[in-house]
Structure 1
């Protein structure tokens, strides 16, 4: 009986400590999320600061607070901060080896924020993975594809890959290729394309629209058009110009040939 009472007396302080630790952990997690959100909103409201920095700073604040919460939880169980530092120092090599990938992502995240090869809202291709940048935090970059698929790219992989940023500049060049029949008038076809381009208010006059004969193919004479527009108008200009040129060719009698072969028979 006395032994049972002693065991109950020993278990009670442990249960109390565990309860306190759980409360501190939950409150700390909520507090970290709230403060990180406040930091993100405050930074994003400042026009002079890029929103990418706001997300990254919020991520840093959250993890720092969680680290402090962890120290507090260990303190509830009687483990002093100095002991934690000593333990971490003794185990630093093992931790470094075990978390080398995570530490690499962390370092790469800092480099991405400092040099900013891409920012939130830009459309990029990272090592063959393309999408719009939705978030950049301590460890990962989140992309969203045009069909709304989420892609998580580790920062270490992003920093070590070739990054193609389609939104880095305000303007882009639209390259279009139109094939016409060998019997059609190339000058007339080029004038049709130029007139359509100049009539489109989204196409820039400087640099002026450019149309040339660029290839004599097996079945067609290829005309290449190069049109400059704002980056936001790229796809609309590309798709609508293609449709408008096709309709104009139909009305003007300019044919777009199918791939074909010509058979020549010679008499013996």
Structure 2
């Protein structure tokens, strides 16, 4: 039998008498006091180290999600070192610690194997940075603003103020659409008018509406052209650039102003309809 990993603790007397247990405790008291002191000093040292790391991170402008993840990993590693040092003071060998943590690691990995995929996904997101906190994204068909990138989940806040938690493994395995990654975003609208309407006059009105709005970019220039001969209407394409955060407000403003202007100028907005001719 290999005795290299044996724990060199004083043997408990065979007779479990109160006096025997008391004597054993007294013999262990110096080692226990030393281990307790190591744990106390280690606890204080971990607090100091994490505060120093926090200051360095703030200077480096690391994202809060990445800092939270790596801070958790660093804390686990530091506590492992403290526990190993305290255990050594009690006579526990390194091989014993490694054996215990190996068995525990296997048991935990089997119990949370599905969550490990999400943890790996969270680490991949923090490293590759396809999106960040505050970005408006579409993850696996769910759109919202990123509130938090956790170790296991990514939290989104939808437009209707719902918090949605998506597992990171699901995020990294699906298509990610980041609407906030660029400085500008294009808004596409289609304005249908009847075939008998004056499309050139409609285009001039649309140009006046778009160029008058303060949130529409003049460069790149908006595109307003006749784009399609639809089944029941002429379709005029309106493509205008703006800030990503102002896409929806600009859309609603333009639609409302187009309706008001066209009504005032006598240009109807077409809608799908079907003409039926009866033949005797």
TM-score by length of 1: 0.75
When residues 218 and 54 of structure 1 are mapped into structure 2, their CA distance, relative to the original with a 3 A threshold, is same
Matches within 5 A, 1:106-255: 106-255=119-268
Deviation at 1:210, TM superposition (A): 0.8
Q: Partners of 2:75 and 2:104 in 1: how far apart?
A: 24
Q: What is the DSSP-based 3-state SS (H/G/I as helix, E as strand, rest coil) of the residue aligned with 1:86? A: helix
Q: Which has the larger radius of gyration?
A: 2
Q: 2 CA distance for matches of 1:154 and 1:70?
A: 32
Identify unmatched segments of 5+ residues in structure 1. none
Given candidates 94, 102, 105, the residue that maps to 1:89 is 102
Looking at structure 2, the residues matched to 63 and 126 of structure 1 have their Cα atoms a distance apart, in angstroms, of 31
Q: TM-score, normalised by structure 2?
A: 0.73
1:184 shift after superposition: 0.8
SS at match of 2:215: coil
Q: Is this contact kept in 2: 1:211–1:224, CA < 8 A?
A: yes
Q: Evaluate the alpha carbon distance shift between residue 254 and residue 113 of structure 1 in structure 2; reply closer, same or farther with a 3 A threshold.
A: same
Pick from 43, 65, 72 the counterpart of residue 57 of structure 2. 43
1:265 to 1:157, Cα distance in 2 relative to 1, 3 A: closer
User: 5+ residue gaps in structure 2?
Assistant: 1-15, 27-31
How many residue pairs match? The answer is 257
